Chain A
Amino acid sequence: MSKYYKYSITNFTLWLIVAILFLSIFLNSETINNWGDNRTKTIAIAFLFLIGFSGQLVFHLLNRKKEGQIDKDERDLSIQNRSISYSFIITLVYVFVVTISIYSYYEKSRFIPIAWMWFVAYSLILVANIITSFISIILYKKSGS
């Protein structure tokens, strides 16, 4: 298993856990309606993302390149490029669908809770990481791991 295949699996698992915890905190009406007043939840969500990024950092520190070792080659680069390209398009579609859905839902009330802006911003990081890793895993599997 190459380093970047391992990284994709770790990244996918890590951000999936963060996404589940994020959604469980975020998706209740109390959080959305009282976003500005609920310091504990905003800090908890920020902490979740800190865990996600720290996990990536720890992986890179634990799997540092040793002298003379080749840890990335043209196949890894090709897979990374393809997964980022696909992920870019999917993330754009995601942002479009979410923002237009929120707009349509709140169009009549002419008031959108600010928490939804935070939701779009946070979930964008989750979607980009999860989709990129997931597509990388599929491409690695297709090209023999």
Chain B
Amino acid sequence: MNNIKKIRRSTTDLSQQELADLVKCTRQTIVALENQKYNPSLVLAIKISEILKVKIDDLFELNEII
């Protein structure tokens, strides 16, 4: 599970398209991420956390205990 939508809206004025352009992915991928329908690669996760200026731990959380 991720908190991208919550953090993007609360800490920045970025739109989904602007975030997508900054991390070099499509807007549809940001939509899929925010709707919890896609798990990003580590590279994309790091890019998003850098743009949103939060730690990766704050952005993602593990629901299942392995």
Contact = CB atoms under 8 A, between A and B. Distances in A.
Interface of A: 1-2, 5, 70-76, 142-145
Nearest to B27: A2
A75 B44 CA distance: 10
A111 B44 CA distance: 58
A72 B26 CA distance: 7
Contacts of B44: 74
A74 B29 contact: yes
A70 B21 contact: yes
Interface residues on B, range: 10 to 19
Contacts of B28: 1-2, 5, 75, 144-145
B37 A144 contact: yes
B29 A73 contact: yes
Interface string B11-50: 0000000001100111011011001011011011000000
Given A70-B21, A144-B31, A76 B38 contact: no
Instruction: Count chain A CB atoms within 10 A of each CB in B21, B24, B26 and give the residue with the most.
Output: B26
Given A70-B20, A70-B21, A75 B26 contact: yes
A75 B45 CA distance: 13
A144 B25 CA distance: 15
Contacts of A72: 26
17 contacts: A2-B26, A2-B29, A70-B24, A70-B25, A72-B26, A73-B24, A73-B26, A74-B40, A75-B26, A75-B29, A75-B32, A76-B26, A142-B37, A143-B38, A144-B31, A144-B35, A144-B38
